[in-house]
Amino acid sequence: MSYVIGVDFGTDSVRSVLVNTVNGEEVASSVFEYPRWKRGLYCDPAQNRFRQHPLDYIEGLEHTVRACVKQGGASIARHIVGISADTTGSTPVAVDQRGVPLSLLPEFADNPNAMFVLWKDHTSITEAAEINALAKKFEPNYLRYVGGIYSSEWFWAKLLHVFRQDEEVRRATYSWVEHCDWIPFLLCGGERFTDIKRGVCSAGHKSLWAVEFGGFPSNDFFASLDPLLDDFTSKLPNRTFTADQAAGTLSETWAEKLGLTTDVVVGIGAFDCHMGAVGGQIEPYFLSKIIGTSTCDILVAPRNEMEGKLVNGICGQVDGSVIPGMIGLEAGQSAFGDAYAWFKNLLSWPLNALAAGIPDDTLRDHVRQLETQLLAELSRQAAQLPPAEHCELAVDWLNGRRTPDANQLLKGAITGVDLATDAPRLFRALVEATAFGAKRIVDRFIEEGIPVKGIIALGGIPRKSPFVMQMMADVIGMPIKVHRSEQTCAIGAAMFAATAAGLFSRVEDAMAQMGQGFDKEYLPNAEHTALYVKRYQRYQQLGAFIEHRLDNDLNHGKI
């Protein structure tokens, strides 16, 4: 038997799984919460600034992989043949010529601008708007493969913002690298930036790389955007690789740290949702929804069936970004579980604030225990409320809108509140809003001529919240299959590791053999679906009103 390890770097933690390649059995797993992130270091939510220190990643990588190897035992460890990783994205960092993130250098150890700029960081809204404005003046249209709109969540906007904000970081920067491309480089013991192998997933979806452009957009484009970017593309790897290929093998240093051998193959990295779609056994024209703090929605279509088709308002369509030989299309919502977490924190704030001032550890522990039960109880109570056409209505843009048509300046809203409104009613409105946001993505694909044959749900929320999933099925009006595994992103990484190690000739074969299948399906309630059609129209009207007001404020210089 042969075994592989899949590593999934999420927003709050990293998780690793040790997998049997014969049957997909999860032999061992381990989770590590980022300690610096948990303390809120280097972040400022009021400014939409979210940064992560590379030490959180390095420590988590070593801890979780070693734990998996130890759980598996020596008899399994010597049969581990591959390791691959997925990460959030776009989450880039400034590096020196050796490929070392600047925040690992003493002079930048506590500088947020020298750290990984997390996907949810929206400090570069201005820069994204400038990229969009400039692209309209250029031929070819460099935004054609990213839905026609560049987002503040992506590589170039973040790079330019940091360069404008921090001259010291700018001077020390040799290049920038995505988190998913840096991890394989780290594991292989790379000693210079030119050793980094760029995945087509990160390059195509977030960095405007395309075969049709000969790689990145022209230097004229970036120099016209800002002279700070003049000649910067020459410092980026222009060749890209699919995730079924090998980046190299474990270095002696990392083999020793992890308790493995230098024969272990390290696969090319990719984003979590793309590998998660593979772990969730995606099929052509099925929308794979990785649902967590945000959602990332992935659809794959055969290359020959996508000729001449460009989907507006999504997060890109890239050849081979999910499955080699197919076009990978990405969409998503900037806040999903984050919307529920916001409401939970809002409700629990008074208790936590009051308990903090009471010298009673037992009471504080009790308050924390109650807080962990809050969302489950809200879901139970909200599920008992019958759907109604005229009641509280929310828009889910609490962290801006990712798709369709990225706009991170947008804000959420709740209407129809009166003195009869209570917490379960507001929570139901938020859940409904996130379901409406999911339906808007499905509608956009269909409007653009891309059929959606079904929905596959992956992640913690689909497995833990029947209320949320039934609401989504009712709103979208389609059955939703829930994958059996709770770690589909890590399992997907393991499938790619097995393919990169040569155990499978195609990742589709790894999916077939290592996939764990589905154990739940939510069927839409036709009566509820008919009602939600009317509610959905009101949701769209409310969203259009919010967007109109934003445009008006922008035009009059109020923002």
Q: Which CATH architecture has domain 3-280+485-519?
A: 2-Layer Sandwich (3.30)
Q: What is the pLDDT of residue 368?
A: 83
Place of tokens 């780290």: 186
Q: What is the pLDDT of residue 559?
A: 67
> Which helix (H) or strand (E) element contains residue 429?
helix 423-447
**What amino acid occupies position 288?**
S
Residue 507 phi, psi (nearest 5): -65, -25
**What is the pTM assigned to this prediction?**
0.92
- 3-class DSSP state of 310: coil
Q: Minimal CA–CA distance to 255: which of 34, 81, 99? A: 81
Tell me the per-residue pLDDT of 56-110, one tens digit each, with 9 for 90 and over.
999 999 999 999 999 999 999 999 999 999 999 999 999 999 999 999 999 999 9
Place of tokens 């996508």: 306
Q: What is the pLDDT of residue 367?
A: 83
**One fold for 3-280+485-519 and 337-484+525-555:** yes
Q: What is the pLDDT of residue 353?
A: 87
Q: Where are the domains of the chain?
A: 3-280+485-519, 337-484+525-555
Q: Minimal CA–CA distance to 156: which of 102, 226, 71, 55? A: 226
Point out the residues of the chain with pLDDT beneath 70.
556, 559
* CATH number belonging to domain 337-484+525-555: 3.30.420.40
Residues 6+ apart with CB under 8 A from 70: 259
